[in-house]
Chains A and B, each alone.
Chain A
Amino acid sequence: MSDEFEPTIVAFLCNWCTFTAADLAGSSRLSYPQNVKIIRMMCSGMVDPIYVLKAFLDGADGVFIGGCWPGDCHYINGNLKARRRVALVTEILKQFGIEEDRFWLRWVAASDGVMFRELSKEMTEKLKELGPNPLKVNKMIA
């Protein structure tokens, strides 16, 4: 039994690209870390910043948003709107001690199960280094 810290990553994945890639990773038996908990969104542009804030305030160690590569969005440009919102929220989170590395926006193509696995592993490792969300200690917040 390991006492090692296992980060919890809340992942908002877009249905058409990243979620499909995660599905593909699964059906190809590509093992990705259990730390990644997936919430399916129809598009990365559907992710309201309040979900990200809530995830962190509820104790998530990391938040991952997966979208299609620019130009490939199933809804044409939802990912570009997501990118702007992520830039904005990152600024706010940075100020309050939530490091940039805890909140990722990444592009994953539908056929790229391998990349989804790699990113999951990368983020999990990164968060193990950064440590748990400080709110996990003081739970009486939010």
Chain B
Amino acid sequence: MAKDISPKDLVIHVLNVGFGDNILIEFPADKNGKRSYGIVDCYSSKKTKGYLDKLILDSKKPSRLDFVCATHPHSDHIMGIKSILEDSTYKTMEFWDSGFRHKSDTYRKILNTLNTKKIDMIRVSSGMERYFGKVRLTVLAPSVVLRNKYDTYGIDMNNSSVVLRLEHHGTEVLEMRSQEYVGDMSLEAVRRAGRSVVILAGDAEFDSWAQVSHEYPRVERSSTHKPLVKKMVNNLACSVVKVAHHGSMHSSPLDIYEIMGPKLAIVSTKQKQSTKKQDGGSLTRDMFPHQSATIALEECDACILTTDGSYESKIEEDGSQKDPEMAYEGSIVIVIPPGGSPRWKKLNDKKKDVPDPPKKI
């Protein structure tokens, strides 16, 4: 049963732009009933602006974008950013950057726009926290360890990705350890702990996840008085994950998904195939998402939604589709009520369409 989206809800829109990332965050409304917004990657400025304009009805004043974050400077994440920064309809407060300096002209033009428009650039790294009402945003990656190796040790661009964790609290006081639970190791317990958490994983790959799991460990504590009762802190537990690197074979290891325990995994993608030469023949396979990523997510019992519908429309052994009701392309909208569990909806838009934002989910 669909419910109205409340001004108190955190809403995340993963727009279908083909092979690219384009995420819009609606933070809960302030005392005056006004929401603020954040953009995490922007491949299509046209679609982003069209969608934002439908979301923001009060178009007389410039709409405030708390931040525009480029998770990393690959073109499928930044192609539309310059146009957003230049547009005076939107007042961008900050630009968040991974610190990886790409030599493309697209990235150079973004830097130039920041310079001429006098927009502050923040080089973010693991540990940074920001608060938007009851939403706590934590930067999980890039680790400073990786950032210090960009120049000399060949850390690639994907591993420089900014990974964001958003938690929508139910309480007035933001607790430092909201992911604490007691005496239960089940998937359900992990999901209860991370029910109001969304992780946006950029294109982070193995090197990055190795650092994330090191810096945000799943920690168990046992009490000396009740040795059988354990407390656990797991900052990576989440209900929704925007899967890293379009679900490629290097996107995230199974171990990370097991720690996250996501209920919903979103892959923003347009399927592509690759052929690898091997002894005595060649191997052709789907790359985005790759089977290794979808199997790992299936192992964790996650619902997988792709923006191109390629996973959902896959044919199973019995001839049926994986998820016939979702076997189409479209943007995905997630609602997180304060302290509550997520609800989501897949819209039915092609990559160049600007869909109407849903009012109920």
A and B together in one complex: no
